[in-house]
Amino acid sequence: MNIQHDLSDFVELPPISLQAGGDMLITTWERKAIEAAVDEEDPNVIIADDQIRIDTSGDLRIHVPTGVTLSLDAGGDANVQRSLGAVHINAVGGDLNIEEAQAVQFKSVGGDLRVVRASALAGQNVGGSVTADDSGAVELKQVGGDLTVRKAESVSCRRVGGDADVYEVENAVAVSAGGDLKIMRCRGDVAGNASGDAHVEVLAQAPQIRINAKSDIHCIVGEGVGAKVHVVCGSDLRVTGAGTSQSTQGRGVHTFTVGEGEGSISLIAGSDVHVTAQGAIGELYSVTGDMKDVGEMDAALADLNVEMARLGREMESIAADFGRDFGSEFGSLGERIAETINRKLRRKIEKSVRKASVKAKAKAGKHGFHFDFDFADPPKPPTPPRPARGPVYEEAAGDPVTDEERMMVLRMVEDGKISADEAERLIAALEGNHES
């Protein structure tokens, strides 16, 4: 069925509200009129002074005037092309694609979200991945898949189930990722958590940076940046800058300055840390794991373990949030959408957890430091030791497992032949054989 309405009598167009049980395609034109095609014979159409509304149980394809404010609900995919106006989305069951808009606000997107050239992007839940290019201030609550942001005023996302890649941000960035975290060419302050590796490039002259990662951290400090750098790492530290290179081996707490040292950079990693700086590096002060008084190091690493466990618990809550959102908006259709989203989300979350777990256990085999990765049922947070005490190391019973045996087990995990838990039990059994 075709729908046509001339809107030339409107001095100012009211918002246009569209709801479709299937897919939705919205294109704009310069005419002051709407023209739509729907699958059903009797859609609900309201044309009034204060609202324009079309509801259909099937697909909807519509032309609307350029610049009008849009309010959308779709059970399938939704595509908005060059609206140049504000776009408000309550719930989209599939993928959502928006090109050239003013402020974009949404509650729930079941699939992937792609936004190109918007003045701002703000929303609650995305079941799939998010790509935002040139989208102003980006503020998201939770993303089930990966997050990619290129060219933004600022970026904030409380939960990313997969990897997070953020490029060219003028102001602050705050992101927690279930996978790897990459923040490049950032000119503001940064706060980031990663269950995998973290890679950050700092360009602010006097930055406030805090990065926590279960695995490695690589921090690039740009030209003219001044900061005091504080590092806590479960393994090795390497610092390179202005023709000099310094390094330490093993667990430790380290401080040094880059440039004038006006800002602050805090890096806490379960494994290696590498800092590359354009400016001069000050003297490196270190307390390593070979010394007894390293309470600060153990406390920081324990805090990192607690933070990562919290991130894991939050990842698990994403699917439940989607179930509530879509069930309330679409009834029985919403329940089916939510069920599909739940399956996809759990697969993505489990994949991220397995990836981080294998990587961390490989690091543990190399460096002797272990993080708990059971996101579904996280361990109770450990109590950090008092700074005056430092770690207490238990003597190994019997001969330790050889490096060759340990690497053989880790290769079996990486090849998918055994699980991480099975690997731990196998190593324990090998230790028992050595003891006997």
Per-residue pLDDT of the chain (436 residues; tens, 9 = 90+): 888 889 988 888 999 999 999 999 999 999 999 999 998 878 889 998 888 999 999 999 999 999 999 999 999 999 999 988 999 999 999 999 999 999 999 999 999 999 999 999 999 999 999 999 999 999 999 999 999 999 999 999 999 999 999 999 999 999 999 999 999 999 999 999 999 999 999 998 889 999 999 999 999 999 899 999 999 998 899 999 877 888 888 888 999 999 887 899 999 999 999 999 988 888 888 876 544 444 555 565 556 555 555 555 555 554 455 455 545 544 544 555 555 555 555 555 555 555 555 555 555 445 444 443 333 333 333 333 333 333 333 333 444 556 556 666 666 666 666 666 666 666 666 655 554 4
Res 378: pLDDT: 31
Res 279: pLDDT: 84
The domain limits of the chain are 133-387, 394-436
Res 84: pLDDT: 87
The residue type found at 105 is Q
61, HSE (Cβ side, Cα atoms, 13 Å): 4
CA distance 97 to 84: 14
Strands 33-38, 2-6: parallel, antiparallel or unpaired by DSSP? Answer: antiparallel
Predicted model pTM: 0.73
Q: Are 66 and 13 in contact (CB under 8 A)?
A: no
Res 385: pLDDT: 33
Helix/strand/coil for 91 = strand
Res 262: pLDDT: 85
Nearest to 251 by CA among 234, 273, 229, 268: 234
Res 60: pLDDT: 95
In terms of Cβ atoms closer than 10 Å to its own Cβ (0-12, 13-18, 19+), residue 435 is exposed
CA geometry: angle at 398 spanning 392 and 399, to 5°? Answer: 100
Res 331: pLDDT: 52
